[in-house]
């Protein structure tokens, strides 16, 4: 394009409509040849010269059509702040920064905090319009406050039911409908006895977590019974040492090879919301179980790949760290060392004598750190107690 003046304006609009918009947003709407947005948002506008079109569902379906109007003045309406669980971030991925400009309005989170008197920096803010409610699971702890954007009234009811099922039915819920507009309504109840059946869209839910439900530890090495498994599980103490060696950092990606129950990849993802992970598992039943475990613990972003890792990772971008929990072999290690760039962290665990010997050879040839982990637990012996020893685990960790 010869003219790099922004052709797309992303306008954040609240329930108070056109009249409450700043002059720069009103001018953009007045000069647009096309205005796109949700039907509810378009209804907040007066009669304008530009053509109006409702944005399709799913959201991505409208992007290509929008790009066809490239070079003509277009306004995209978004709720509140377009870059806080809004459309702005999605659209900006498709355009260079000099082709668009955004005029945000107060976000739903800002409106909700102002009504409740909550500090936003101390409040969990989540957008669950099209995401599973299980994303709440890692955050469920008494005293936690959260503001959650939800799709509709049915989603509010489902959230209350989910909290109750998890043992947090005593949580206080504040249902915030159409904040900032003439239809604004605010009502409160406890999750276990939510009485409302007429909740209107758009809606946010403020949650004050209370109850005696189980709280997920934020330390590495959560209890084994959080994971469904068939025995193929890196046990809690060894898992904590493994994650310490993998050293997850924000924005990094893990490959979990021979993932078993997925516990390593899941805890990697629980360490920070900006982490990513791929679990490779050749067994179909275990692959399905990994998916179930990830969804249950609120990290549905885990990618589960069913198949042999050697044939599946060739075309994928390289990870920052690799864990080998199953399928350890010379062929796998040779392929990884040929494929992975310098700086990649690799951790492999071995239980059998053959795998232990392999790691000993790798340590001698390539360096790194070799650790033998011997664990014993107290267990009954008749009327007394003794130490029940687990198979020793050998762990090799190395930075390529």
Does pLDDT of 3 surpass 60?
Answer: no
Domains held by the chain: number: 3
- 303 forms beta bridges with 278
Q: What pLDDT, in 10s, does the model give residues 290-306?
A: 999 999 999 999 999 99
Do residues 348 and 395 touch, judged by C-beta distance below 8 A? yes
pLDDT category at 4 given cuts 50, 70, 90 is low
Question: For 60-70, what is the mean pLDDT?
Answer: 89
Lowest mean pLDDT among 7-11, 230-234, 364-368: 230-234
Boundary-marking domain end, from 49, 78, 106: 106
- For residue 123, what are its two tokens? 């409040």
Does pLDDT of 243 surpass 90?
Answer: yes
| pLDDT (0 to 100) of residue 231 | 87
pLDDT category at 1 given cuts 50, 70, 90 is very low
Question: For 64-90, what is the mean pLDDT?
Answer: 92
Lowest mean pLDDT among 67-71, 202-206, 302-306: 67-71
The boundaries of the domain holding residue 204 are 109-208
Boundary-marking domain end, from 173, 208, 243: 208
Does pLDDT of 269 surpass 80?
Answer: yes
For CA atoms 86, 87, 91, 97, the dihedral sign is negative
CA distance 4 to 21: 25
Burial class of residue 76 (count of CB atoms within 10 Å of its CB; 0-12, 13-18, 19+): buried
**37 and 181 together in one domain:** no
Predicted TM-score (pTM) of this structure = 0.92
In a domain, 319, yes or no: yes
Question: For 244-252, what is the mean pLDDT?
Answer: 97
Q: What pLDDT, in 10s, does the model give residues 334-388?
A: 999 999 999 999 999 999 999 999 999 999 999 999 999 998 999 999 999 999 9
Does pLDDT of 312 surpass 90?
Answer: no
Q: What whole-number percentage of the chain has pLDDT above 90? A: 88
Do residues 149 and 204 touch, judged by C-beta distance below 8 A? yes
Return all residues near 226 (Cβ < 8 A) that are at least 6 apart.
216, 293, 297
Average pLDDT, the chain: 94
Strand 321-324 and strand 345-350: pairing?
Answer: parallel
Boundary-marking domain end, from 106, 133, 156: 106
Rounded to the nearest 10°, the torsion over CA 55, 57, 59, 61 is -90
> Domain containing 317 — which CATH number?
3.40.50.150
Question: For 113-135, what is the mean pLDDT?
Answer: 96
Phi, psi of 180, deg, nearest 5? 90, -5
Measuring CA to CA, which residue among 323, 221, 343, 219 is closest to residue 278? 323
DSSP 22-40: -HHHHHHHHH-SEEEE-HH
> Domain containing 70 — which CATH number?
3.40.1010.10
**235 and 336 together in one domain:** yes
**233 and 327 together in one domain:** yes
**81 and 177 together in one domain:** no
Does pLDDT of 314 surpass 80?
Answer: no
CA distance 277 to 256: 7
Do residues 350 and 358 touch, judged by C-beta distance below 8 A? yes
**194 and 337 together in one domain:** no
Enumerate long-range contacts of 366-372, CB under 8 Å, 24 or more apart.
Answer: 366/337, 366/398, 367/398, 368/396, 368/397, 368/398, 368/399, 369/245, 369/396, 369/397, 369/398, 370/394, 370/395, 370/396, 371/241, 371/395, 371/396, 371/397
| pLDDT (0 to 100) of residue 2 | 43
Measuring CA to CA, which residue among 62, 65, 100, 58 is closest to residue 83? 100
**31 and 160 together in one domain:** no
**88 and 114 together in one domain:** no
Q: What pLDDT, in 10s, does the model give residues 146-196?
A: 999 999 999 999 999 999 999 999 999 999 999 999 999 999 999 999 999
Does pLDDT of 268 surpass 50?
Answer: yes
CA distance 205 to 123: 12
Question: For 225-238, what is the mean pLDDT?
Answer: 92
């Amino acid at each position: 394009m010869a003219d790099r003046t922004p052709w797309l304006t992303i306008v954040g609009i609240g329930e108070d409509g056109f009249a409450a918009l700043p002059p720069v947003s009103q001018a953009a709407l007045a000069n647009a040849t096309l205005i796109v947005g949700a039907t509810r948002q378009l209804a907040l506008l007066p009669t304008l010269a530009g053509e109006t079109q409702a944005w399709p569902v799913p959201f991505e379906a409208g992007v290509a059509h929008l790009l066809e109007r490239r070079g003509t003045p277009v306004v995209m309406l978004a709720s509140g702040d377009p870059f806080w669980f809004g459309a702005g971030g999605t659209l900006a991925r498709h355009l260079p920064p000099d082709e668009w400009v955004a005029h945000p309005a107060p976000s739903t989170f800002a409106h909700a905090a102002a009504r409740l008197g909550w500090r936003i920096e101390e409040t969990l803010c989540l957008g669950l319009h099209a995401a599973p409610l299980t994303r709440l699971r890692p955050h469920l702890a008494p005293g936690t406050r959260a503001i959650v954007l939800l799709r509709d009234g049915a989603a509010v009811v489902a959230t209350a039911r989910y909290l109750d099922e998890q043992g947090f039915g005593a949580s206080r819920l504040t249902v915030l409908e159409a904040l900032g507009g003439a239809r604004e309504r605010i009502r409160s109840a406890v999750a276990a006895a939510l009485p409302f059946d007429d909740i209107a869209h758009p809606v946010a839910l403020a949650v004050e977590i209370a109850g005696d439900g189980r709280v997920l530890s934020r330390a590495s090495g959560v209890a084994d019974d959080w994971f469904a498994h068939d025995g193929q599980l890196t046990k809690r103490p060894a898992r904590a040492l493994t994650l310490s060696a993998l050293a997850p950092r924000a924005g990094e990606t893990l490959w979990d090879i021979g993932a078993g129950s997925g516990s390593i990849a899941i805890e990697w993802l629980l360490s920070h919301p900006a982490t990513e992970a791929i679990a490779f598992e050749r067994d179909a039943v275990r692959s399905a179980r990994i998916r179930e475990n990830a969804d249950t613990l609120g990290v549905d972003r885990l990618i589960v790949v069913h198949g042999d890792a050697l044939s599946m990772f060739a075309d994928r971008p390289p990870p920052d760290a690799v864990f080998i929990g199953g399928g350890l072999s010379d062929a796998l290690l040779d392929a990884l060392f040929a494929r992975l760039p310098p700086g990649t962290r690799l951790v492999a665990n071995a239980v059998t004598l053959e795998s232990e010997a392999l790691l000993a050879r790798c340590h001698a040839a390539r360096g790194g750190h070799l650790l033998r982990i011997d664990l014993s637990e107290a267990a009954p012996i008749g009327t007394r107690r003794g130490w029940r020893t687990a198979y020793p685990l050998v762990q090799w960790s190395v930075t390529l």
